[in-house]
Amino acid sequence: MLKYFDTPTTKIQSKELEYEGVRILVKREDLNHPYVSGNKWWKLKYNLEVAKRTGQDTILTFGGAFSNHIYATAAAAKELNFRSIGVIRGEEVLPLNSTLAFAMECGMKLHFISRDDYRRKNDESFIEKLKERFGDFIAIPEGGSNSLALKGCAEFTLEKLSLIGFDYLCLPIGTGGTMAGIIQGLKGKRNVMGFSALKNGDFLKDEVRRLQQEYSAKVYDNWTIQTDFHFGGYARQTPELNQLIERMKRLFDLPLDPIYTGKMVAGVFAMIEKNLFPKGSTILILHTGGLRQH
**Span 31-64, pLDDT tens digits:** 999 999 999 999 999 999 999 999 999 999 999 9
In a domain, 1, yes or no: no
Task: Write the CATH number for 71.
Answer: 3.40.50.1100
Position 104 confidence tier, pLDDT thresholds 50, 70, 90:
very high
Percent of the residues in the chain that have a pLDDT greater than 90, as a whole number: 93
Residue 291 has pLDDT above 90, yes or no: no
Percentages helix, strand, coil for the chain (3-state, rounded to 5) are 45, 15, 40
Distance in angstroms (rounded) separating the CA atoms of residues 161 and 274: 27
What is the Cα–Cα distance from 51 to 208, expressed in whole angstroms? 25
- The rounded distance, in Å, linking the Cα atoms of 32 and 10 is 14
Q: What is the largest CA-CA distance in the chain?
A: 62
CB 243 within 8 A of CB 265: no
What is the chain's mean pLDDT, rounded? Answer: 95
pLDDT of residue 292: 78
Q: State the residue range of the domain holding 182.
A: 9-34+146-286
Residues 135 and 275 reside in one and the same domain:
no
What mean pLDDT do residues 155-180 have?
97
Same domain? 30 vs 48: no
Do 59 and 72 have their domain in common? yes
Give me the pLDDT at residue 293, please. 65
| Whether 158 and 138 share a structural domain | no
Could you say which of 123, 144, 165 is where a domain stops? 144
d(CA 1, CA 80): 7
Counted residue by residue, the chain has a size of: 294
Pick the last residue of a domain from 99, 119, 144: 144
Q: Evaluate whether residue 261 is within a structural domain.
A: yes
Q: What is the percentage of the chain residues whose pLDDT exceeds 70?
A: 99
pLDDT exceeds cutoff 70 at 294: no
The mean per-residue pLDDT over the stretch 115-142 comes to 95
Does 140 share its domain with 150? no
271 and 199 in a common domain: yes
